[in-house]
Structure 1
Amino acid sequence: MTKQARSWERQMARYGKEHKQATRQRITEVAGRRFKRDGIDGSGIATLMKDAGLTNGAFYAHFDSKDDLVASMVTEQLRGQREWISSTATDRAGVERIVREYLSTVHRDNPEEGCPSAALLDEISRCPGATKQAFTDGALALIDDIAAVLAPHDPRSARVRTLSAYALMVGTMQLSRALADRALADEVLEQGIQNVLAILDVTPESRPTS
């Protein structure tokens, strides 16, 4: 085999690997949006693959099962959430911005673009161990990032407090989404912001009255 031929084979092998990784990522991303909108149990493989523009048979070239996809989706969703938090929560004012953006009507009304915990926590709790472990690892990583901002000299001291605040944010969002009374749902979000900031000991920024 000539040097040129070997180079061509390496290029094709690399392209094949990169193409497969890109396809797997596309499936994971569309699954995340679909799961958060319709639920894990309410989203079949056929629907997910149609969303991704692929055939059903292509699914098993990337995932062993739907459970495998769910675990991968949880990992990727929480990684994305952690990136958002890391880029925003650079100081205590950034932590406040995260709380306010999380407990916003925009987040509430667009679950497919939002937090996987608020949309899927009840279903994740019934998933196999691999999915629970993926959630545990991802959630604790982002919690530790926030704790490091709140208590830079001793992040461990703020871990449980931060986790409790995260739990309150998730529960508040779930309740607001479930309420038929829109005005009450909005009030729940606003009160949730105040409660979370109090737990985190973050002083709200001064805001002009309208």
Structure 2
Amino acid sequence: MVRYAKEHKQATRQRIIETAGHRFKQDGIDGSGVSTLMSDAGLTNGAFYAHFASKDDLVANVVTDQLRTQVARYGTLRPGRQGLEDLVRDYLSPEQRDHPGDGCPSAALLDEIIRCGDETRQAYTDGARDIVDEIAARLTPANPQSARGKAIGLFTMMVGTLQLSRALSDQKFSDEVLAQGIENALSIMR
């Protein structure tokens, strides 16, 4: 039996988490079996349990990783409200709508996270709280707590708008929903 360095095991675990994140957002949690997830990561099914206790354990780790990555991207935005406006325009774009596997885990997975176990729901709660805190800090840097209600409204409106735009079969209507979502988001920010 070959023993791998701790760094190799951690890198393999991270590869599984990242490929599973893409697959979950593309096909859903329930639509993604362990064998498919491991194949996506270039590994055998047997390797799964060396990294995760169960699929639920993987889902909780994926949710944590996806939301942490999303918050980290906020650090690459322009400062303050300008960066938040950039975020809104990117988030409510046809590119985000048309590529759920590469986008926001909230818009892609909320309906399934609701039915997940406590560990996954706690991971989502922690990540959503971090997103709201980041938005609030951009709305009112001197007193983020005063902007918490607006931040919650902005976050929930953006996620709901993206979900609705993805559900529509009429491209023109979907584009209209995205455009109106941007206008609504910008008005919340004022």
TM-score tier by shorter-chain length is: over 0.9
Instruction: Report what 2:33 is aligned to.
Output: 44
Instruction: Report what 1:77 is aligned to.
Output: 66
Cα offset, 1:89, TM superposition? 4.8
Contact 1:89–1:149 under 8 Å retained in 2: no
Quick one: distance in 2 between partners of 1:89 and 1:114?
Answer: 20
- Give the count of matched residue pairs: 188
Contact 1:46–1:56 under 8 Å retained in 2: yes
Quick one: distance in 1 between partners of 2:165 and 2:35?
Answer: 31
Instruction: Report what 1:93 is aligned to.
Output: 82
Q: Percent identity?
A: 62
Cα offset, 1:145, TM superposition? 1.4
**Candidates 102, 106, 110, aligned match of 1:113:** 102
**Candidates 153, 166, 181, aligned match of 2:142:** 153
Instruction: Report what 1:139 is aligned to.
Output: 128
Output aligned runs, 1:24-63, within 5 Å.
24-63=13-52
Amino acid in structure 1 at the alignment position of 2:154: A
Contact 2:25–2:100 under 8 Å retained in 1: yes
Runs of 4+ aligned residues of structure 1 deviating over 3 Å after TM superposition are none
TM-score (norm 2): 0.96
Look up the SS of the partner of 2:32 in the other structure. coil
Amino acid in structure 1 at the alignment position of 2:176: E
Output aligned runs, 1:12-31, within 5 Å.
16-31=5-20
Q: Deviations over 1:78-122 (max 9, x none)?
A: 011001112215221111000000000001000000000000011
Look up the SS of the partner of 2:141 in the other structure. coil
Quick one: distance in 2 between partners of 1:190 and 1:50?
Answer: 38
Quick one: distance in 1 between partners of 2:188 and 2:171?
Answer: 26
Instruction: Report what 1:125 is aligned to.
Output: 114
Contact 1:118–1:170 under 8 Å retained in 2: yes
TM-score (norm 1): 0.87
Instruction: Report what 1:205 is aligned to.
Output: none
Quick one: distance in 1 between partners of 2:135 and 2:42?
Answer: 37
Quick one: distance in 1 between partners of 2:96 and 2:5?
Answer: 37
Structure 1 gaps of 5+ residues are 1-12, 202-210
Contact 1:86–1:145 under 8 Å retained in 2: no
Please identify the structure whose Cα radius of gyration is greater.
1
